[in-house]
Amino acid sequence: MWNNHRQDRQRILSFVAVIAIGIGQTLTSGCTDARAKGPSAVSTSENPPASHTAFTSLKQINAGLLNVGYAEAGPADGPAVILLHGWPYDIYSFVDVTPLLASAGYHVIVPYLRGYGTTTFLSSASMRNGQQSAVAVDIVSLMDALKIQKAVLAGFDWGARTADIIAALWPERCKGLVSVSGYLIGSPAANQAPLPPKATLAFWYQYYFATDIGRAGYEKYLHDFNKLIWQTASPKWNFDDATYDRTAAAFNNPDHVAIAIHNYRWRINLADGERKYDDLEKRLADSPIITVPTITMEGDSNGAAHPDSEAYRNKFSGKYEYRLVGGGVGHNLPQEAPQAFAKAVIDVDHF
């Protein structure tokens, strides 16, 4: 537990950080509790360009089934924040968010998920499993290894789903939640319902991955395939080759293809999971309510498939706010709008 002095210090630091990072953003129609419905519109049109290209500290630790690679920043005794990336991205989605939070006094941990970067399996016998509960257990194991009892969890894509799951199943480990695209917990059974044509088109890669030629194509054209996903998911983000290539190096992980393919096949019931996760998946199939303080976010130009914010509003019963981030922000919200994302983390910590 943090004493009152530390809590006051954090509030001051957080306030200074919000001013210093130049939010310069207008919040309107804010919803600040579980009953509010209107979104907060955040303009990012005057955000400065990304300024960081590397992390100051990269480490490895054994945690559960994995040897996890992760970036670390900020004071070791500060409140913990864990930032979680998605597919096909990596820890560099948070390369500008991390120093903002560290300067506000937070202990920031940014892990490579299984199948990315320097995160590897401890045993060659472990199934290269991409199912949602397995990835969530990885992060709980990482928290245990780092002796982090409770943290603010924040992420997008696979990372948002992972944060959602931990908040739902282990709320005692989650002080607050920032989830891009909201409630992303699903199940193979729920995914058996056919989607309308437009929604099906948005998931073209999932159906491509269901075939042998899809797996072979992903492996052969890995660099260009994932770059195409970046371009379609964030159509107004003019990232350069150097920005993409920094992340693309993480796809060279020997387990990347196997885990990505398994994840998308498992989602539509074309690949089996592991029996040890059955109980967790059964609980997740019931779409559990998330009770921890939460901010959900969306970019106004997200080209990836994502639910409407009203569709998942009733999945959050605690203090809650939804923020729509303007200025052409796409799917990779933390990298495209780091100030808005960092502000959400700080704000949910003080809900």
Least confident of 34-48, 143-157, 208-222, 286-300: 34-48
The predicted pLDDT at position 260 comes to 98
Confidence check: pLDDT of 248 > 70? yes
Query: Any idea what the CATH number is for the domain that residue 208 is in?
Result: 3.40.50.1820
Confidence check: pLDDT of 34 > 50? no
The Cα–Cα gap between 192 and 194 comes to 6
Q: What is the dihedral of CA 185, 159, 327, 206, to 10 degrees?
A: -70
Averaged confidence pLDDT in the chain: 89
- Looking only at the bridges linking them, the beta strands covering 120-121 and 151-155 are unpaired
Give the residue numbers spanning the domain of 97: 4-349
- Whether residue 315 contacts residue 198, with contact meaning beta carbons closer than 8 Å, is answered with no
Confirm whether pTM is higher than 0.85: yes
Q: What average pLDDT score do residues 2-18 get?
A: 43
pLDDT exceeding 70 applies to what percent of the chain? 86
Confidence check: pLDDT of 10 > 60? no
Phi, psi of 14 (to 5 degrees): -65, -45
Q: Is 124 exposed, middle or buried (0-12, 13-18, 19+ CB in 10 A)?
A: exposed
51: confidence class by pLDDT, cuts 50, 70, 90: confident
Confidence check: pLDDT of 271 > 90? yes
Total tally of structural domains belonging to the chain: 1
48: confidence class by pLDDT, cuts 50, 70, 90: low
> CA separation (Å) from 288 to 82, 164, 178, 231?
22, 10, 17, 33
Q: What average pLDDT score do residues 33-54 get?
A: 52
Question: Euclidean distance between the first and final Cα of the chain, in Å?
Answer: 17
Q: What average pLDDT score do residues 298-319 get?
A: 96
What count of other Cβ atoms lies within 10 Å of the Cβ of residue 159?
29
Pick the closest to residue 157 from 261, 30, 298, 281 (CA basis): 298
Any idea what the Cα angle at residue 171 is, between residues 166 and 175, rounded to 5°? 95
- Whether residue 164 contacts residue 156, with contact meaning beta carbons closer than 8 Å, is answered with no
Q: Is 311 exposed, middle or buried (0-12, 13-18, 19+ CB in 10 A)?
A: exposed
Amino acid at 61: I
Least confident of 10-14, 186-190, 277-281, 347-351: 10-14
User: Regarding predicted confidence, which is higher, 181 or 13?
Assistant: 181
What count of other Cβ atoms lies within 10 Å of the Cβ of residue 231?
14
- Looking only at the bridges linking them, the beta strands covering 58-63 and 80-84 are unpaired
Least confident of 51-55, 122-126, 326-330: 51-55
The predicted pLDDT at position 41 comes to 43
The Cα–Cα gap between 57 and 111 comes to 12
